[in-house]
Structure 1
Amino acid sequence: MRLDVNRREFLKIAAGAGAALAMPTSGHTAVSSKMIGIQVGAVSFVDEGTEKVLDVLQERACVNTLFLAVFTYGRGIAGRQIPGQPLPDHGKQEYDLNFHGGNFAIPHPQYYKNTALKDTRAPDHADLDILAEVLPAAKKR
């Protein structure tokens, strides 16, 4: 059986299901001991701001774990949206036609000196280091 659900509808369903499952049954608010995570790319934080993204993920879906897309060449993980597909209801309402991908954090070349991997830095968001941007804000929560 194949369901035709676009990205926007999938995220709405997933966020709603996550929020419903995280609702306490007794009226007491408790911190979940279960991991509730989501994979998120740098572009979300660039477009909407780190604190806003963290607020939305935590408040609407009770997310307590982030899987940052630090290294990827896949637009589906780190880009805004695949050209021709519907744009989400948040973030910039444009396609990133010049998406390149790569390492969205600061690479440490000493660990790659004897490999074929040389210049892996993603040029998509200038000098953004997604780990330095998101981790301090996420750890405060």
Structure 2
Amino acid sequence: MFDGHHRVSVARALGEDTVPAVVRAICTTALVNAGLTRAGLRLKAGEREFLRAVPLPDSATSQLRLDRPEDYPVLVSAATDWCVARGLAAPGPDSQLDGDAATAWWRGAVLPVARRDGVDGAGRDAAAAYLAAYLAAFLSD
């Protein structure tokens, strides 16, 4: 509710049990579950920034779980590099990915690595598997 806290406090002060309201759905960039703690906020902020830079479809975000917030910018670089190499994004420091490019990266780069590594959503997820493979290739060069 817009300005909901004030309306609720006034209704309570007047002894009202209900408050008429128009409720709007709010879509967030990164999904937040009920178990989010203060310690998890840095990780969730990293995920949110990643999803702003790499706008994946909802079906992919359920497989986007990394353990360290500093891994999200590396994943942004991996996605951007892949898309630029395929002409899906313009090169340069301000390169932006659109939803189609992000989806192409997910389907063309991340999911094949996840399948190869036997990732089924339990434990390590597709993004973590891809990140590990990307870093291994990057460090071996």
- TM-score normalised according to structure 1 size: 0.22
Give the helix-richer structure, 1 or 2: 2
- TM-score normalised according to structure 2 size: 0.22
Larger gyration radius, structure 1 or structure 2: 2
Give the strand-richer structure, 1 or 2: 1
